[in-house]
Amino acid sequence: MGVVEEVFALKWFEKQQSTNTFFLSVQEAICHEGTKACRAIFLKNELIFTTGFSKVSERQYSLRKSGLLNEPMIETEVDTSNGVMFPFYDADTNIVYLCGKVI
């Protein structure tokens, strides 16, 4: 059997339209460098909140601007638990809730 390599990336599609042209721009970036699952949610003001793992399996979250996916505004290590963090967003209160198993 061959080696299977998974790449966890974030793609952002943006539709733009002017008076006589229409185009779709695509942006792509590595969310987190670890090999475990990543999650992404879209917030107000073109922000993207992601959760994932570092190379050394630390759980992380990050906040990115849609136009600058490769440069997180914030990237923070949470802990070394092996459970995936699931972000939930309440748009009315503009609060992100992180849910996950804690050891």
For residue 29, give the nearest of 21, 19, 40, 20 by alpha carbon: 40
Query: Domains of the chain: which residue ranges?
Result: 9-99
Alpha-carbon torsion angle 92, 93, 94, 97, nearest 10: -110
Residue 85: predicted pLDDT? 93
Cβ burial, residue 51 (10 Å; 0-12/13-18/19+): buried
What digits encode the pLDDT tens for the residues 66-75? 888 888 999 9
pLDDT at 88 over 90: yes
Query: pLDDT-based confidence at 53, cuts 50/70/90?
Result: very high
Cα gap 17→46, rounded to integer Å: 17
62, 40 Cβ separation under 8 angstroms = no
User: What is the residue-averaged pLDDT of the chain?
Assistant: 81
The answer to whether the CB of 98 falls within 8 A of the CB of 39 is no
